[in-house]
């Protein structure tokens, strides 16, 4: 149930909605709860039956009145309306009775559920805190392109962009456009800019054409990606990722986050140490640990999600960095050890999610990049134009929300989820 409310008095000018399971009528008055949509605070609205006789569950209303001391014991103040107009009706206002599965089928109604509305406010706050974290550390935010000519990691799981021209519609081939894709990652573009800006980051949508319908996959998601110049070891990147994750978790204890957390009713399934370093283990040692515990690791494909979660379990259900993955498991742009067997790379594994972050030192040598099959000429040119050693990482923002808030299904971490063969409204 949601009612649009517009307070017109100078001392009570406010717009919002009312929430509740019913419109309560007692004596000569009607009582409804008001929510302004920007916080979880509710105000009781009182109106006479004479002006509120058409108000029902789900009515959209506009009211004029004054904030007064409440005669009831459940609230200190209440808004007494002397003018009220119904401007809309809802034929079915049972939003809070819808299960998460049903809400996924009608994503355009999700925000009308009080719990999901609280989550969206919380997501927005975490989004804002992410920007403040990086900008306070002298990072420059970059709006990276979402249309690109290259597949960043060469995995082939990209969406092709098809152009439709008037010539094509009329049966003529017209001007044929070179292949274009929706961006899987902004990393390569950030690498180009860090050659002079030194510290850059972006937080925006990315797209992956995975044919998966599991609780862990999305076709459109948000990536936090950062790139730093003059970095030659992965330790500095691990420290930055660790600092960011710890900072985000520390916010869960903040008074401004508590009201929304109370409404959504869930939180992290495992605590995060905010004052101590995360464990770090080399990939080969991680494999030895897993096999010693009876787990099977496939040499070519590397760690499965089960392997990742097992590693977390063996580290007391706390975050753990796995470093120096084999070269045959990682993309061309990662720098390698002197013997060419391992990459200067890392993944951060966390409870419930598995891989949360991934990063590496970038290969600085253009000829080595070419020998590994890189044919992106503009990317190779950056190496020939005074590019310093750089390193960076990416974090799936929705995965971070899953981890922070204990959300089981990643489709419940954003307002309008898109996954394989599912694109509503």
Task: Please report, in tens digits, the pLDDT of each residue of the chain (425 residues total).
Answer: 444 555 443 345 455 666 666 788 888 898 888 777 777 677 788 999 999 888 887 777 788 888 888 877 777 788 888 888 888 888 877 666 667 778 888 888 888 888 888 999 999 999 999 999 999 999 999 999 998 887 665 555 888 887 766 555 555 555 556 788 888 899 999 999 998 999 999 999 999 888 877 788 899 999 999 999 999 999 999 999 999 999 999 999 888 898 899 888 888 777 787 888 999 999 999 999 999 999 899 877 889 999 999 999 999 999 999 999 999 999 999 999 999 999 999 999 999 999 999 999 999 999 999 999 998 999 999 999 989 999 999 999 999 999 999 999 999 999 998 888 888 88
Residues of the chain with CATH 2.40.50.140: 5-93
* Pick from 150, 364, 117, 354: nearest CA to 259: 117
- Listed in sequence order, the residues at least 6 apart from 219 whose beta carbon sits closer than 8 Å to its beta carbon are 159, 207, 208, 209, 210, 418, 419, 420, 423
Query: CB-based burial of residue 313 (10 Å sphere; 0-12 exposed, 13-18 middle, 19+ buried)?
Result: middle
The residue written with tokens 């805190």 in the block is 129
- Listed in sequence order, the residues at least 6 apart from 108 whose beta carbon sits closer than 8 Å to its beta carbon are 424, 425
Give CA–CA dist 301/81, Å, rounded. 66
pTM: 0.89
What is the reported pLDDT for 11? 43
* Pick from 356, 74, 125, 73: nearest CA to 255: 125
Kindly list the distances between the CA atom of residue 189 and the CA atoms of 220, 286, 295, in Å, as whole numbers in the listed order.
19, 32, 38
Angle at 96 between CA 213 and CA 271, to 5 degrees: 65
Please name the fold of domain 100-157+185-412: BirA Bifunctional Protein; domain 2 (3.30.930)
- What would the CATH number be for the domain defined by 5-93? 2.40.50.140
Buried b (16+ CB within 10 A) or exposed e, 319-341: bbbbbbbbbebbbbbbbbeeeee
* Pick from 260, 267, 265, 266: nearest CA to 118: 260
Tokens of 12: 């009570």
What is the reported pLDDT for 1? 40
Question: Distance between terminal CA atoms of the chain?
Answer: 22
Asked if residues 323 and 336 have their Cβ atoms less than 8 Å apart, the reply is: no
Beta strand pairing call for 345-350 and 354-361: antiparallel
Diameter over CA atoms, the chain? 85
Phi, psi of 213 (to 5 degrees): -125, 20
Q: What is the 3-state secondary structure (H, E, C) of the chain?
A: CCCCEEECCHHHCEEEEECCCCCEEECCEEEEEEECCCCCCEEEEEEEHHHHCCCCCCCEEEEEEEEEECCCCCCCEEEEEEEEEEEECCCCCCHHHCCHHHHHHCHHHHHHCHHHHHHHHHHHHHHHHHHHHHHCCCCEECCCCCEECCCCCCCCCCCECCCCCHHHHCCCCCCCCCCCEECCCCHHHHHHHHHHHCEEEEEEEEECCCCCCCCCCCCEEEEEEEEEECCCCCHHHHHHHHHHHHHHHHHHHCCCCHHHHHHHCCCCCCCCCCCCCCEEEEHHHHHHHHHHCCCCCECCCECCHHHHHHHHHHCCCCCEEEECCEHHHCCCCECECCCCCEECEEEEEECCCEEEEEEEEECCCHHHHHHCCCCCHHHHHHHHCCCCCEEEEEEEHHHHHHHHHCCCCHHHCCCCCCECCECCC
What is the reported pLDDT for 309? 96
Give CA–CA dist 4/90, Å, rounded. 12
* Pick from 1, 15, 118, 112: nearest CA to 63: 15
């Amino acid at each position: 149930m949601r009612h649009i409310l517009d307070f017109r008095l100078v001392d009570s000018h406010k717009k919002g909605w009312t929430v509740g399971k019913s419109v309560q009528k007692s004596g000569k008055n009607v009582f409804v709860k008001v929510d302004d949509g920007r916080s979880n605070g509710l105000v009781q609205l009182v109106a006479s039956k004479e002006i509120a006789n058409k108000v029902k569950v789900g009515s959209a209303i506009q009211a004029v009145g004054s904030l007064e001391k409440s005669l009831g014991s459940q609230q200190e103040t209440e808004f007494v309306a002397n003018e009220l107009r119904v401007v809309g009706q809802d034929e079915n206002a049972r939003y809070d009775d819808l299960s998460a599965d049903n809400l996924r089928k009608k994503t355009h109604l999700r925000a009308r559920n009080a719990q999901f509305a609280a989550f969206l406010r919380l997501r927005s706050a975490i989004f804002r805190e992410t920007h403040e974290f990086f900008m306070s550390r002298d990072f420059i935010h970059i709006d990276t392109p979402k249309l690109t000519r290259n597949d960043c990691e060469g995995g082939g799981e990209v969406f092709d962009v098809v152009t439709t021209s008037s010539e094509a519609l009329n049966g003529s081939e017209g001007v044929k456009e070179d292949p274009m894709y929706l961006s899987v990652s902004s990393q390569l573009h950030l690498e180009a800019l860090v050659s002079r800006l030194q510290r850059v980051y972006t937080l925006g949508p990315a797209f992956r054409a995975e044919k998966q319908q599991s609780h862990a996959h999305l076709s459109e998601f948000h990536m936090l990606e950062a790139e730093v110049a003059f970095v030659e070891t992965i330790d500095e990147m691990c420290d930055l990722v660790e600092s960011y994750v710890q900072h985000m978790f520390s916010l869960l204890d903040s008074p401004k986050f508590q009201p929304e957390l109370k409404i959504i009713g869930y939180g992290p399934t495992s605590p995060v140490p905010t004052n101590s370093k995360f464990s770090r283990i080399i990939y080969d040692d991680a494999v030895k640990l897993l096999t010693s515990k009876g787990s099977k690791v496939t040499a070519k494909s590397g760690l499965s999600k089960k392997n990742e979660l097992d590693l977390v379990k063996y580290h007391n259900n706390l975050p753990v960095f796995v470093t120096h993955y084999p070269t045959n498991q990682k993309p061309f742009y990662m720098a390698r050890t002197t013997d060419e067997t391992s990459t200067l790379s890392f993944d951060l594994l966390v409870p419930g999610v598995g891989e949360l972050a991934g990063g590496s030192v970038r290969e600085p040598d253009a000829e080595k990049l070419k020998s590994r099959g890189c044919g992106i000429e503009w990317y190779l040119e950056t190496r020939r134009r005074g590019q310093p050693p750089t390193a960076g990482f990416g974090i799936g923002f929705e995965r971070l929300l899953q981890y922070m808030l204990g959300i089981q299904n990643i489709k419940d971490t954003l307002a309008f989820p898109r996954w394989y063969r599912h694109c509503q409204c």
